[in-house]
Structure 1
Amino acid sequence: MSLLIDAVNEGVGLVNFDSDVAQYSNSFREALGMFGEVSAYSTPLVRVCNDTHYITGTRELGETIEFKRPVEIAHVEALKNAITLLRSAEGVPAVFATRSGKGKAVQFAISPKVWLDEYLGHASGLDDIFWKSIVWAAKKPFLMMAMPPFVTCQFDDCYGSSNPFKKGSDSAVVNLGYIDVLNEFGYVPHVSFFIDQVDEKDERKIKEKYDKGLAEFSAHAFAETLDFETAHFIYQRTHGFEYTYEELDEIFAKVDEKFRRWGIVPSKVVDPHWQNPGLRSLRYLKERGQTYVMFNALFGMAYSDPCACLWRNGPYGKHDYSSSYVFDYIPIPQDFPDAKTGDFFIVQAYLGPDFLGGKTVFNNENKFNDIDAAADKAALQIKRGLDSLFFGNVMCHEQRIAALSLEEWRAIFTKVEKLTSKYHKIHKSYEYIAQYAKNKCDCRIVEAVHNLAEGKVSCILKGGTDMPLQVYVFRDKNEGVEYHFETIPPFKESVTVSYQLAP
């Protein structure tokens, strides 16, 4: 332990996720600001107690993260020269930061069990504390190849002006006005239509938004009846039953004709109604370059099937399509002739249920349109995606948008901007983010070298990418941290890139 403390004193960063600090020597604990006796107990939550430190700087003071079951925590009798970032329900320091010599350290007093799904899990509210602790403590410059802070939005069950649930002529769905408002705030939404129920008068608007890069569109289904019992599916029959190839020939010809009529190309990201595509439809999707999907159910299975999400679901193995964060290649049976594992990529960043669920008068879900509650949930969807190093994704169904006036819709996103003002946000389309996520997962940094004499950082990457990617370059700034992006060019197999650091 003395060697470790010596390294920290010389400038090496330390993040200790081991909460069993009682086993460590007094000298080790004292170097990290811990003094006196250590006892153990459990806590049902942690609370943000500092919103000025880099690690918790995007959080709100007093914000709580509740666990699914109590998590063990080490109660250190006294802290000196340490900044407490999170506290337990009883006020005991749960995460704290300190300095030792030239180095910085962060101690997690909560058990690492917190990263298990049965307690909380990744992408569930603490991931930013995890990775920002590493960034803050690390000796700089520090390189990180992670998703940039992309933000987008997706909407299912879309009709546009013909939406049967619209509340009067000022409804946000009339003439697709909700897209105009989203554009005002920088969003490039993914709109997935019931393509046979789109009003002809909206076709010009669809074409205009597509041509200007202000929205992307996909085929959700052909139509849906108002009783929700009958849906006209495109990619497979209801409840996971496959179409014949002859039926699929006709179906995809009909979809192609619809998009030709609109004068646009559908998004490469598929957003099917009630279920992911059937296996037999994969041939048709590959031919059209539509190789990304938004939800993590296996092909050929309905979302309602309890086995639909029982696969790897990388990186964290979350088996719930309704609220999950997944970047992974969806497995395809080895004996299936039309496609193979590696052909289709899941890009999911979804904190369910949809942000308008239970917050509008649609279907008597609420007595009034609760603008504040809707904005709070939409902002949380963005924050959770960015904090977890996926992407911020605002999601809902258009039936609920139809219950809002255009001004109510604008009011929601005005508040969302305020609630997410601490975050750096880069608005992109879902298709762009999907392609970026796949390419990021296809390569990795294997070595990085800081040349002090020349003021350069060089890194070697393995894998391959067909689009430019960005690497974070973090530098210390006063008591905080700042970053800028450097570009990784497209490459095959291996590449070495060097960046000149600013003085």
Structure 2
Amino acid sequence: MYSNLPRRRRAAWKGVALFLALLSLGLTDGVLPIAASAQGSARSAGIIVLVNDASPHFSDFQRLVQPYLDHFGMPYSLHNVRTTPVGPEIGTHALILVGHRQLDPAGTALDLVEQGYISAGINGGTGLVNLDNDLSPDGKSARYQFVQDIWGFAYKQPAIEWGVTFVNPEGGPGIVIDCTDDQHQTPVLTTTLDAEALDPTDGLWVEYAYPPRGVKAVFADVDEEDHGLPAMRCYASDIPNGTYDVSASLYTDNRRPSMRYYYGYDAANPKEFYVDAESGSGGEDRFTDYALGTVSIADGTFEIYAQDADLFTATLTTTYPLLDLYAQDAALMANPEILPLGDPRFDRATQQVSYPTITQTLTLFGWSSVRLTEVGRTVSPMPYITEGHWAGEWIGTGSMTMAGLGPLPADVTVLARSGNDPFLLSTTYGQGRAVQWGSYDWMSHLVKGPMRPLDDLVWRSVVWAARKPFAMQGMPPFLTMRVDDVPGPFGWIEVANEFGYKPWVGLFYGDLGPQDAAKLSDLVHAGQATASVHAVHGDTFFYYDDAQQKDWPDAVMEANFADATAWHTLRNIPISSYVVPHAYEFGTNAFQGLRDWGVEFVATMMEPGTPYGSPWVQNGPFRRYETGNSSSGTPLYYADWIQVPGRPEFDGQFFNCATEIRDDGGYEWYPSNDVLSSIGRGTRHAMRAFNSMAIATLMTHGPFIDLTDADNWRAILQGITANLAPYNVIHVTMDDACRYARAVTTSHIASSSFRPLTGDMSLVLAGTTDIPTMFYLFTESAGAIQSAMVEVPPFEGTTQVSVSIGPATGHYLFLPVVIK
């Protein structure tokens, strides 16, 4: 173990660890080995991952971390510190990734010389991302000298925290006033964790915290002012005089309809103004920031009052549960058959729509905080790693064990916090960059999990820290549309085509009339849509006997395929290579017929031969090691081979491919005549997938589109398209997107190298692809990171791609990319 020394004394410690490393190379004049050797020869442009297979947390790397590396297509090699000493060559890599906590808890795998090589490598330009947050054996002293060399941490006992709040290192946008802080609220409340305290008729505000989310708010019930509810005052003193933009973090639980929040800046009129808060806009975290206008402060005091909110009763809202006590769901109540079987309101036992008993707690409204931002103030952009987030953004998680870091050195940057502890940190060390994670517990589905709003921090932290150039496969910004339960008509597809969308259509083929079938034939032949059988009718399953929850008899299955084949042939509608069955249910005997159709890609949530609601299928990239229910509201991305129980001949034949952002809106996109909500939810679903480098899919069911006016449908797609413009979206069919996902799953970057003197980069890819693929190439100039997409032709076995970047005239300065 190593004593905890202030960072200002770090130079003296290099005389111990770093000097030993240089002395072993005969280099004691300050010239680092990487700086000397890499200029004249090729250096690795990949990642070396340090693991210890004897560590009690080695499995964390396999279960939680490695799936991310594979999903992002990062070039990496594993280095087991238990069996293989760390040598000076570690500094020839683009990045060192410490792959799990307790890399060397006994202090027997990494001696001072080996740790000196790590420090020397970072000092010479190799990047570091450290996931090991067990950095002190006792909350006082340092476990690793290389961590002290780079960071100079002080330590304390690790804490348990919830949630992640993002920080702008250049200063957050304005002043945040916590409405649950006793110093900023009237009446003064005591926090409770007891949901029973949320009595809708007691006329009292309740300061309530739900521990898994970690955020507190002051709550009351709609119309509780009729029971004597006083106005809640949220205030602050010592505010610099000036004009401020005001925003508030408001409760937007998707279990109740959109609400109109009233507020005022005068105790005599707490309903002078209002803002409309969209149900479900905050996802599973339940809170969304809304702009409240501007105020002028002349006496250093700010105060805002809240006393009431109203439920919308005229807006169609499709989030669950069905709030039939408030007629905003009138369209659904009149057409319950439109509910998809995956919707939580559908009762699997009775095969009927379930209308849950409504409790008053579903009509809560709540204020968490208020933010003041001086008008005209220029807010600094977020750093590269957290570019996809905004200062003050809060993301809920389950409990996480943090690193136990004390006061931080001045040159360490906090990018995000969890409670009072740093969640993500960055610094520079010599020519290198380093990132320290406060915890990776969030990677588990039990705490937060993949396809949540934290995935981008993984690939962005690697890209930022890695020495450039750096390449990874990743997923291009593909945008698809998947619509299940479609009986026709298809005018909505033509509108979608106007904006580049090429929908996949899951047909209730028994309901299609001849005119609709003819229109669909034209659209598919024109490449504007793809289509395949979803079911015969809404209550007549095709691939599985849902009523009996078992495979159809073989004779029935064969007859189903014969009927659907004849139907497609007669109507000249080509069968898509992508199939999603009704309720995701495939029988084990459905796959011969699928293969005969030429189907290669499917979407299912569970193992073939089991009904919806069974355990989710443990497919990659993110569900191989953890279990859950197929009907859960957990967001998902599947891109892996499906196995058919008892039918090994179909191994490697069908690729399971689907993206669903189930935690925002309750299961799917749900477009409706509420144009703004439909734009917001669709935008958020696509952005989540883009930031996670998954296939972005606007997934819904046909009847929701049918209930949406044509002008509103066009306005929705126009709004989403405008919002997503910064992503340089590539519109593709589900068939093509899944083909691409399969190609990057069956191939990887086996090695990458770079010659600084000539500016030549060489990558070797291994595996098999049947279409051209691409990889992201990241370079950097004057501190700005750029990316380009480099195409790789189809290959089998291995292929080499060479790229000319130009000689390095500075550590990160390169000329424009030229593909050889």
The count of aligned residue pairs is: 471
Q: Would you say 1:131 and 2:249 are equivalent positions? A: no
Superposition deviation, residue 185 in structure 1: 2.6
Question: Separation in 2 of the partners of 1:4 and 1:288?
Answer: 55
Residue from 463, 470, 485 that aligns with 1:142: 470
Secondary structure of 2:406's counterpart equals: strand
8 A Cα contact 1:188 1:429, kept in partner: yes
Structure-2 separation of matches of 1:360 and 1:133 = 34
Query: Which of 123, 130, 135 is 1:9 aligned to?
Result: 123
Helix, strand or coil: the match of 2:408? strand
Match of 1:97 in 2: 426
**Secondary structure of 1:390's match?**
coil
Say whether the 8 Å CA contact 2:135–2:144 is kept in structure 1.
Answer: no
Quick one: distance in 2 between partners of 1:158 and 1:485? 36
Farther-moved stretch of structure 1 (446-455 vs 425-434): 446-455
1:46-445 matched pairs, under 5 angstroms = 46-50=164-168, 52-90=382-420, 92-109=421-438, 111-161=439-489, 176-224=490-538, 231-238=539-546, 239-304=548-613, 306-307=614-615, 309-317=616-624, 319-322=628-631, 323-333=635-645, 335-336=646-647, 339-352=649-662, 369-445=673-749
Tell me which amino acid in the other structure corresponds to 2:414.
T
2:397 partner amino acid: F
1:386 and 1:219 map into 2 onto residues whose CA distance is 28
The Cα shift of 1:424 comes to: 3.7
Instruction: Report how far residue 46 of structure 1 moved.
Output: 0.6
Measured at CA, do residues 448 and 130 of structure 1 come closer, stay the same or move farther in structure 2, by a change above 3 Å? same
Identity %: 27
Distance 1:330 1:434 in 2: 13
**Structure 1 residue identity aligned to 2:521:** K
Amino acid across the alignment from 1:41:
A
Q: 1:250: Cα distance to partner?
A: 2.5
Indicate the SS of the match to 2:662: coil
Compared CA separation, residues 10 and 262, structure 1 to 2 (3 A):
same
Does the C-alpha gap of structure 1 residues 31 and 303 become closer, same or farther in structure 2, counting only changes over 3 Å? same
Deviation at 1:495, TM superposition (A): 2.0
Q: Counterpart of 2:161?
A: 43
Cα offset for 1:20? 2.9
Within 2, Cα distance between the matches of 1:237 and 1:353? 29
Change over 3 Å in CA distance of 1:125–1:372 after alignment to 2: same
Query: Matched residues in 1 for 2:431 and 2:620: separation?
Result: 40
**Residues 430 and 267 of structure 1: CA distance in aligned 2, closer, same or farther (over 3 Å):** same
Q: 1:77 to 1:419 in 2, by over 3 A?
A: farther
Contact kept? 1:149, 1:392, Cα under 8 Å: yes
Cα distance in 1 for partners of 2:576, 2:398 equals: 37
Q: Is the 8 A contact 1:355 1:395 kept in 2?
A: no
Amino acid at match of 1:217: A
CA distance in structure 2 between the aligned counterparts of 1:457 and 1:448, rounded to whole angstroms:
7
Deviation at 1:215, TM superposition (A): 1.4
Q: Is the 8 A contact 2:669 2:682 kept in 1?
A: no
Query: How far off its partner does 1:37 sit?
Result: 4.5
What CA distance in whole angstroms lies between the structure 2 residues aligned with 1:107 and 1:480? Answer: 21
Deviations for 1:460-490, whole angstroms, at most 9, x for unmatched residues? Answer: 2222111111111111133232111112222
Q: Residue 270 of structure 1 contacts residue 292 of structure 1 at CA under 8 Å; is this kept in 2?
A: yes
Residue equivalent to 2:781: 477
In 2: Cα distance, 1:99 partner to 1:180 partner: 52
RMSD: 2.6
Partner of 1:366: none
The range that moved more, 410-419 or 383-392, is 410-419
Amino acid across the alignment from 1:414 = Q
Assess if the C-alpha contact under 8 Å between 1:331 and 1:340 holds in 2. Answer: yes
Q: Contact 1:448–1:460 (CA<8 Å) still a contact in 2?
A: yes
Deviation at 1:425, TM superposition (A): 2.3
SS of residue in 1 equivalent to 2:605: coil
Deviation at 1:28, TM superposition (A): 4.9
Structure 2 Cα separation of the partners of residues 421 and 68 of structure 1 = 33
* 8 Å contact kept, 2:153–2:405: no
Q: Which AA in structure 2 matches 1:401?
A: I
1: CA distance, partners of 2:755 / 2:466: 17
Compute the displacement of 1:312 (Å): 4.5
What secondary structure does 1:78 align onto? coil
User: CA 1:433 to 1:321, structure 2 compared with 1: closer, same or farther past 3 Å?
Assistant: farther
Indicate the SS of the match to 1:188: coil
| 3-state SS, counterpart of residue 77 of structure 1 | coil
SS at match of 1:232: coil
Residue 408 of structure 1 aligns to a residue whose secondary structure is helix
Alpha-carbon spacing, 1:221–1:416, altered in 2? closer, same or farther (3 Å): same
Is the 2:129–2:436 contact (alpha carbons within 8 Å) kept by the matching residues of 1? yes
Match of 1:171 in 2: none
Question: Could you tell me which of 779, 785, 805 is aligned with 1:501?
Answer: 805
Match of 2:754 in 1: 450
TM-score, length of structure 1 as denominator length: 0.86
C-alpha distance in 1, partners of 2:753/2:665? 44
Alpha-carbon offset, residue 328 of structure 1? 1.2
8 A contact 1:122–1:316 mirrored in 2: no
Aligned 8 A contact 1:359 1:373 in 2: no
Instruction: Give per-residue Cα distances to partners, 1:125-158, cap 9 Å, x unaligned.
Output: 2111011100111011111022222111211111
Q: Residues 197 and 341 (structure 1 numbering): CA distance in 2 closer, same or farther, change over 3 Å?
A: same
Superposed displacement of residue 181, structure 1: 3.0
User: Does the 8 Å CA contact 2:668/2:699 hold for their aligned counterparts?
Assistant: no
Where 2:434 maps in the other structure, the secondary structure is strand
Q: Could you tell me which residue of structure 1 aligns to residue 63 of structure 2? A: none
| Contact 2:485 2:703 (C-alpha < 8 Å) held by counterparts | yes
Q: Given that residues 71 and 119 in structure 1 are in contact (C-alpha distance below 8 angstroms), is that contact kept between their aligned partners in structure 2?
A: no
Q: Is the 8 A contact 1:240 1:278 kept in 2?
A: no
Matched with 1:173 is none
Distance 1:35 1:452, change over 3 A: closer
* Larger-gyration structure (1/2): 2
Aligned-partner Cα distance in 2 for 1:396–1:358: 6
Q: Which amino acid aligns with 2:644?
A: I
| 1:103–1:303 Cα change, 3 Å | same
1:397-444 CA-to-partner distances (Å, cap 9, x unmatched) read 122222211222233333333543443422211101111111111122
Return closer, same or farther for 1:63/1:204 CA change in 2, 3 Å cut-off: farther
Give 1:285 deviation, angstroms: 0.7
How far did 1:32 drift? 4.4
Unaligned segments of structure 2, at least 5 residues: 1-114, 169-380, 807-814, 816-820
Check the 8 A contact 1:154/1:396 in 2, yes or no: yes
Is contact 2:640-2:657 (8 Å) kept?
yes
CA-CA distance at 1:178 after TM superposition: 2.4
CA spacing shift, 1:475–1:293, aligned 2, 3 Å = same
The answer to whether the 8 Å contact 1:11/1:139 transfers is yes
